[in-house]
Amino acid sequence: MTHQHVIDTIAEALRDQPTVRALFLSGSHGNGRADAYSDIDFVLVTQDGISDEVAQIWREAVARTGEIVLWWDRTTVPVLINAITADWTRTDVIVLRPDQLGAQTRHSLRPVFDHDGLYDGLAEGSAHTAPNPRRLAYQFEEFIRVLGLLHLAEGRGEYINGVLGVFHLRNLLVDLLIEETGAPDRGGVLHLNRLITDEHKALLTGLPLAAPNREAMIDTHLAYAAAYLPRARAMAKRLDLDWPERFEEVTWAKLHDALSIARPYDPDAA
């Protein structure tokens, strides 16, 4: 079943339900960036928002598109339901009341049906997302915190945990690179190729692989520190954010005392 067939089938099942006031496409289908591998994100507007009754109505609509093999009903977000059918079509829906649509914009939604003209009352919105200073400040400190745990992993011989730490550092580096590009309409995490530059891709593919042994664990942590920290400092300066100077200083001091390793970049040149 094609994505459009799924959309049409679900719309047909819901259009005449009295409690359902509107159905919108969001995510990549909402902003026109969908491909054959995209999931189908919906915003469902009902008179009273989410309820067990509405969840059942939604399930019956999705079941018309195929056998449901995964059903997560409000497991992570109180208004979110995730489903996968037997052909691996993924549908996500957020169920809102009309007065909860304020965070949505016309740029991010595409109406499937809209009985009350709710779409016209939404803000136009923008394709560009400004950096979140609070989130970035947290991520800068989190990178240094995970880096500092290297001495613990080495001291305990926890080399498997050391590999997991590298993956965490990698995720933080990827987030930073996406922030550098200021890419609009970021979409989900499976759209990385269009969110970063060729130079970013070369950086990521050139970093050493994590392996569960002492030498590789130390080398990869240092490589990621050299890749991340100068760029993060530059972004903090550009956004006029305070850099956690003292935290980084004592972290490198601890790593030097425990492992005889030094900071792999010059902070004055960053």
Q: pLDDT for 253-266, tens place per residue? A: 999 999 999 999 99
For residue 108, which phi and psi values (nearest 5 degrees)?
A: -100, -5
Half-sphere exposure of 204 (CA within 13 A, CB side): 19
pLDDT the model gives residue 10: 98
Kindly report which listed range (81-95, 189-203, 248-262) carries the lowest average pLDDT score. Answer: 189-203
**Closest C-alpha among 207, 206, 204 to residue 192:** 204
Q: What letter would DSSP give residue 36? A: T
Reported as a single tens digit per residue, the pLDDT across 112-171 is 999 999 999 999 875 556 788 999 999 999 999 999 999 999 999 999 999 999 999 999
pLDDT the model gives residue 251: 98
Mean pLDDT for 211-234 is 97
Q: What is the set of domains in the chain, with CATH numbers?
A: 3-121 (3.30.460.10), 133-259 (1.20.120)
- Express as a percent the part of the chain with pLDDT over 90: 81
pLDDT of 174 strictly over 90: yes
What is the identity of the amino acid at 191? Answer: H
Q: Which residue has the tokens 């240094």?
A: 144
pLDDT of 270 strictly over 70: yes
Reported as a single tens digit per residue, the pLDDT across 227-250 is 999 999 999 999 999 999 999 999
Residues 6+ apart with CB under 8 A from 87: 1, 66
pLDDT the model gives residue 189: 55
Long-range Cβ contact pairs of 149-153 (< 8 A, separation 24 or more): 150/217, 150/218, 150/221, 150/255, 150/259, 151/254, 151/255, 151/258, 151/259, 153/217
- Structure tokens belonging to residue 249: 């200083």
Residues 6+ apart with CB under 8 A from 146: 165, 168, 169, 172
- Structure tokens belonging to residue 110: 């595409």
Assess contact for 194 and 186: CB atoms under 8 A: no
